[in-house]
Amino acid sequence: MELHLRIPPERWCITIAEFYAFVREVRRVWAAGQVPEGEPGSNPQHGDPQHGPNLYQVNEHYVKPLTRAAGNMSYALMKHPEGLLCQVFISHAWAEGLFELSDLVYRGWPRLQRLNHLYCCLLANPQNLDIGALLDVPPEESPFAKAMQAASHVLVIPNDTVSIYTRLWCVFEAYLGTRWHKTCIMPARPRRSVQCSVAMRTLLVPCVVGLLVGGVWMLSCSRSCMHCFVNPVLVACVMLTLVCFLSSLAMECWSRPVRMWVKCIVIRSVHILVTCACAAVVVPYSAMTRWGDKLWSHLFQRLIPVALCLFNMSRTAQLNQHHLEDAELNKQASFLAIQTLEDATCSDPHDEEKIRQAIQGFEAEVDVTIRVLMRSGAYNDALRAAYENGEDISGSGNSDCIVKTGLVTLIWLLSTLDSAGFLESYVKCRDGAFHKGFDGLFVLGLAVAVQASALFLFPITAWHLQLSGLERVSFAVKVWALSTLIGHGLPLLLEIQLRLLVFHTCGGAKGTVVDPLPDRCDSWDRWLIVAFLRPLSAVVALTCATVGPCYRRCGYRGELSTEPEPSDTESAESSEDSQ
428 or 354: which leads in pLDDT = 354
Domains identified in the chain, total number:
2
407 assigned to some structural domain = yes
pLDDT at 85: 96
pLDDT at 36: 86
213 and 103 in a common domain:
no
363 assigned to some structural domain = no
Helices marked H in 430-468 — which ranges?
438-468
pLDDT at 277: 93
Q: What is the dihedral of CA 214, 245, 481, 426, to 10 degrees?
A: 70
* Residues with Cβ within 8 Å of residue 176, at least 6 apart in sequence: 140, 145, 148, 149, 182
Buried residues in 168-198 as b, exposed as e (16+ CB within 10 A): bbbbbbbbbbbbeebbbbbbbbbeeeebeeb
Residues in the chain: 579
pLDDT at 62: 95
pLDDT at 225: 62
244 and 149 in a common domain:
no
Closest CA to 206 of 322, 312, 303: 312
∠ CA 253-472-483, rounded to 5°: 50
pLDDT at 344: 85
pLDDT at 431: 56
* H-run or E-run covering 505: helix 490-506
Residue 172: pLDDT band (50, 70, 90) is very high
Average pLDDT for 463-489:
78
418 and 276 in a common domain:
yes
pLDDT at 30: 94
7 assigned to some structural domain = yes
123 and 201 in a common domain:
no
Q: Map residue 43 onto helix, strand or coil.
A: coil
* Cβ atoms within 10 Å of 322's Cβ, excluding its own: 18
pLDDT reading at 418 higher than 80: no
Question: pLDDT per residue over 287-334, tens digit each?
Answer: 776 655 555 556 666 777 888 888 899 889 989 988 999 999 999 999
The percentage of residues in the chain with a pLDDT greater than 70, rounded to a whole number, is: 82
361 assigned to some structural domain = no
Q: Which of 145, 162, 179 is the last residue of a domain?
A: 162
Highest mean pLDDT among 316-325, 481-490, 523-532: 316-325
Q: Which of 146, 162, 178 is the last residue of a domain?
A: 162
∠ CA 406-268-197, rounded to 5°: 65
Q: Which of 108, 141, 162 is the last residue of a domain?
A: 162
* Residues with Cβ within 8 Å of residue 284, at least 6 apart in sequence: 214, 217, 218, 226, 229, 230
Closest CA to 182 of 379, 444, 401: 379
* Cβ atoms within 10 Å of 390's Cβ, excluding its own: 7
Residues 548, 475 contacting (CB under 8 angstroms): yes
pLDDT reading at 169 higher than 70: yes
Beta bridge partners of 155: 90, 185
486 or 345: which leads in pLDDT = 345
Q: Which domain holds residue 276?
A: 192-331+397-555
346 assigned to some structural domain = no
171 assigned to some structural domain = no
58 and 144 in a common domain:
yes
512 and 439 in a common domain:
yes
423 and 306 in a common domain:
yes
Alpha-carbon radius of gyration of the chain? 29
Would you report the helix, strand and coil content of the chain in percent, each value rounded to 5? Answer: 70, 5, 25
Starting at the earlier edge strand, list the strands of the sheet with 14-15: 14-15, 117-119, 88-91, 153-156, 183-185, 378-379
422 and 504 in a common domain:
yes
| CA pair distance 66, 53, nearest whole angstrom | 17
305 assigned to some structural domain = yes
314 and 425 in a common domain:
yes
pLDDT at 199: 94
pTM (whole model) above 0.95? no
∠ CA 72-78-82, rounded to 5°: 120
| CA pair distance 68, 84, nearest whole angstrom | 21
Lowest mean pLDDT among 491-495, 541-545, 573-577: 573-577
Question: pLDDT per residue over 248-275, tens digit each?
Answer: 878 877 888 888 899 999 999 999 999 9
Question: pLDDT per residue over 100-154, tens digit each?
Answer: 999 999 999 988 788 999 999 999 999 988 877 777 888 899 999 999 999 999 9
251 and 133 in a common domain:
no
345 assigned to some structural domain = no
